[in-house]
Amino acid sequence: MASVTTPEVLWWALAPVLLLAAGGLLLLTVASLVRRLPGYLPQAWTVAVGLAVLATTPPSWVAVRDGGPRSLLSGTVAVDGSTVLVTAALALALLATALLARPYLEREDLPGVELYVLLMLSAAGGVVMVSADDLIVLFLGLEILSIAVYVLAALHLRRFESQEASLKYFILGAFASAFLLYGMALVYGATGSTRLGRISGYLAGTVLLDDGMLLAGIALILVGLAFKVAAVPFHAWTPDVYQGAPSPVVAWMAAGVKAAGFTAMVRVLVVALGTHASDWRPAVAVLAGASVVVGAWVAVLQTDVKRMLAYSSIAHAGFLLLGVQAASPRGTAAVYAYLVIYTLLATGSFAVITTVGGAGDGGHGLEAYRGLARRQPVLAGAFTVLLLGQAGVPFTGGFVAKLGVLAAAVDGRTYWVAMVAMVAAAVAAFVYLRILVAMYLRDPEADEVPPHVVPPGARVVVGVACAGVLFIGLLPAPLLDLARQAVPVLVGG
Amino acid sequence: MVVTTSWYLTLAAILFSMGAVGLLTRRNPLIMFMCVELMLNAVNLTFVSLGTDLGDLSGQLAVFFVLVVAAAEVVVGLAIIVAITRRRQGATADDLSVLGG
């Protein structure tokens, strides 16, 4: 009998995906069999799975550092430093969302375990995406991540806004996926493989006489990914979806989806298509410049805090693109550090927004924040730290993040986009200032506004986010070292 | 007359553009959704013809994955559309304008 050679499987490297997928499916099965689950169980299970994923990352990190990056499952999946670091960030975002979800579901009277199940499956897709070493696997991960988030956005059954947000996100997300996939097909046609390692090897060893198909493919992949990470001019869905979707879900969208999207972008553009950097760098630089300008400018005109933060997330995407377009190890390291810091900033900010939104998830106008500092000084103080972090004020993590990508852009000699980003950052600071002014200087509209109940889960998320942002701001070296060691490499061939 | 790979690629590009333009101009969510499917199938045609041209199986293989993903998208997309039309009869994309600022 002929023996079958099975591909190499490294269980430790696959553990995060397996834990998340098995955890989600198990919870779904149990919830459909058992009539009444205790209320705390789904959340406790999700938190346990998230902690387990987080616990797998330090041993994996050590294994990658000592044994080098590895390719497994016949070169379709790879594990390197960036995979492990972003998996940890995704686990943090998952934990934060799960902690925010239960008080939210109780307040809005939404029974069911679907949020937790979809959240874990979405995170599994995110982990697949950050460990993909093949364009098709990357596409599968992206779709597992996105399809779950489309449903999560529609989760609030009684808010029409939630369903409208979901449909908008779904149609535009599917549109973007089609572009991404078409781009992948053309890159496959031009290089003869969907494996990132083989694409890179082929491009390094061959001079393409007619590279029209390859360039069209790169352009379409860029459009698809720019949609997913909400870069201008492909950002139109972001404010509506952020405004309409349930607030804890927005925390996941902002932190998790962006982290996975940018890691995939770095992998495809910088690592696999690095030989053609001179072709895609100008395009990414234009996207970066447009995103920081539009994100900062339009945020100033908003009156809804969720929409303000949606535009600020567009500006953050622009800063991240600044690191991508540098196409250097320094740039990618800055992107990973930024992603970790942004995970903290976004989850913390949306924890405050979930709390202040109140029953019905509708109180997101600037007026809801008036006099918050007098009514709930601790909550307002924590939000202040997070907003200053988002603005990039020195001694917060946001400053470290922005400085890293700006330095990488200057290093890559794209001075104009670095200048534009610095001016835009100053404009964006005005947005955060408006929220701060509302919190500290304005009197409450009515003195009898009852204080918002801050559930323990939200306290943990806000506390950890603030502590993390301040710690990184004062002592950035450990995170920057990790990010520098996380530079992605090609191992498959 | 010989039908070469470029014919298939051109057809796929035309189908993809039809889908993209249709999605941007039509207002019925169901038709917009059909346009997305058209775009995905145009990509499938591209994958198959390029795979045949290269003599490489992974192009054919990709189509299976895309089909599965498209089926999963159908399930979720139709559920969202049904949920919306149950709330608002005959809703078009223009009626979805609660959000804004």
The answer to whether A371 and A443 are in contact (CB under 8 A) is yes
pLDDT at residue B90 in the model: 64
The answer to whether A389 and A483 are in contact (CB under 8 A) is no
Q: How near does any CA of chain B get to the CA of A475, in Å?
A: 39
Q: How near does any CA of chain A get to the CA of B1, in Å?
A: 24
A77 vs A299: CA distance, rounded Å? 39
Contact A139 B69 (CB under 8 A): yes
Mean pLDDT lowest among A238-252, A362-376, B85-99: B85-99
A127 vs A76: CA distance, rounded Å? 13
Pairwise pLDDT comparison (A361 vs B63), residue with the higher score: B63
Query: Based on the number of CB atoms within 10 Å of its own CB, is A359 exposed (0-12), middle (13-18) or buried (19 or more)?
Result: exposed
What's domain B5-91's architecture? Orthogonal Bundle (1.10)
The answer to whether A66 and A9 are in contact (CB under 8 A) is no
One-letter identity of residue A192: G
Nearest to A161 among B23, B66, B98 (CB): B98
Provide the mean pLDDT of chain B. 87
Is A1 a member of any domain? no
Q: What is the pTM of this model?
A: 0.93
The answer to whether A305 and A363 are in contact (CB under 8 A) is no
* Closest-CA residue to A122 (of A169, A160, A81, A72): A169
Nearest to A194 among B39, B46, B58 (CB): B58
pLDDT at residue A414 in the model: 86
pLDDT digits (tens, 9 = 90+) for A96-137: 999 999 888 888 888 888 899 999 999 999 999 999 989 999
**Can you read off the two tokens belonging to residue A81?**
């430093």
* Closest-CA residue to A266 (of A472, A15, A390, A86): A86
Give the C-alpha distances (Å, rounded to integers) separating A487 from A56, A219, A337, A410, A480: 19, 24, 11, 19, 11
Q: How near does any CA of chain A get to the CA of B30, in Å?
A: 10
pLDDT at residue A387 in the model: 92
User: What does residue A156 show for φ and ψ, rounded to 5 degrees?
Assistant: -80, 100
E strand intervals along A73-226 = 77-79
pLDDT at residue A208 in the model: 75
Is A470 within 8 Å of chain B by CB?
no
Longest C-alpha distance within chain A, in Å?
83
Q: What is the number of CB-based contacts under 8 A between chain A and chain B?
A: 116
Which DSSP letter does residue A131 get? Answer: T
Contact A303 B56 (CB under 8 A): no
Is A307 a member of any domain? yes
User: What does residue A457 show for φ and ψ, rounded to 5 degrees?
Assistant: -60, -45
Among chain B residues, the shortest Cα distance to A137 is held by B65
- The 3-class secondary structure across chain B, one letter per residue, is CCCCHHHHHHHHHHHHHHHHHHHHHCCCHHHHHHHHHHHHHHHHHHHHHHHHHHCCCHHHHHHHHHHHHHHHHHHHHHHHHHHHHHHCCCCCHHHCCCCCC
Beta-carbon contacts of residue A441 (< 8 Å; ≥ 6 apart): none
Is A276 a member of any domain? yes
* Closest-CA residue to A357 (of A453, A444, A238): A453
One-letter identity of residue B8: Y
A456 vs A44: CA distance, rounded Å? 13
Provide the mean pLDDT of chain A. 89
Which DSSP letter does residue A276 get? Answer: G
Among chain B residues, the shortest Cα distance to A177 is held by B40
Highest mean pLDDT out of A438-442, A449-453, B97-101: A438-442
- Coil/strand/helix, residue A71: strand
One-letter identity of residue A66: D
pLDDT at residue A430 in the model: 87
pLDDT surpassing 90 at residue B64: yes
Beta-carbon contacts of residue A200 (< 8 Å; ≥ 6 apart): A271, A272, A273, A274, A275, A490
Q: Which of A163, A179, A221 has the highest number of chain B CBs within 10 A, making it the mutation to test binding with B?
A: A163
Number of domains in chain A: 1
Query: Based on the number of CB atoms within 10 Å of its own CB, is A374 exposed (0-12), middle (13-18) or buried (19 or more)?
Result: middle
User: What does residue A437 show for φ and ψ, rounded to 5 degrees?
Assistant: -60, -45
Q: Own/partner pairs for A80-83, CB < 8 Å, 24+ apart? A: A80/A486, A80/A488, A80/A489, A80/A491, A81/A485, A81/A486, A81/A487, A81/A488, A82/A130, A82/A263, A82/A266, A82/A267, A82/A332, A82/A336, A82/A486, A82/A487, A82/A488, A83/A130, A83/A131, A83/A263, A83/A488
CA dihedral B101→A259→A53→A484, nearest 10 degrees, is -150
Owner of token pair 């007098």: A374
What range defines the domain where residue A256 resides? 11-485
Q: Centre a 10 Å sphere on the Cβ of residue B68 and count the other Cβ atoms it contains.
A: 12
Angle at A303 between CA A299 and CA A307, to 5 degrees: 55
* Closest-CA residue to A455 (of A101, A117, A115): A101
- Coil/strand/helix, residue A372: helix
Contact B33 A161 (CB under 8 A): no
Mean pLDDT lowest among A180-194, A436-450, B5-19: A436-450
Report the run of H or E that residue A89 belongs to, with start and end.
Answer: helix A81-107
Sign of CA dihedral A103, A105, A109, A112: negative
Interface predicted TM-score (ipTM) over 0.90: yes
Is A490 a member of any domain? no
Which DSSP letter does residue A72 get? Answer: E
pLDDT surpassing 80 at residue A436: yes
Chain A residues within 8 A of B78 when measuring between CB atoms:
none
Query: Based on the number of CB atoms within 10 Å of its own CB, is B47 exposed (0-12), middle (13-18) or buried (19 or more)?
Result: buried
Is A33 a member of any domain? yes
A301 vs A296: CA distance, rounded Å? 9
pLDDT digits (tens, 9 = 90+) for A130-141: 999 899 999 999
Owner of token pair 């999700």: A46
DSSP per residue, A325-365: HT-SHHHHHHHHHHHHHHHHHHHHHHHHHHHHHTTTT---B
Sign of CA dihedral A317, A320, A324, A326: positive
Mean pLDDT lowest among A42-51, A310-319, B76-85: B76-85
pLDDT surpassing 60 at residue B101: no
pLDDT at residue A111 in the model: 81
Give the C-alpha distances (Å, rounded to integers) separating A188 from A137, A142, B46: 14, 18, 10
Contact A188 B50 (CB under 8 A): yes
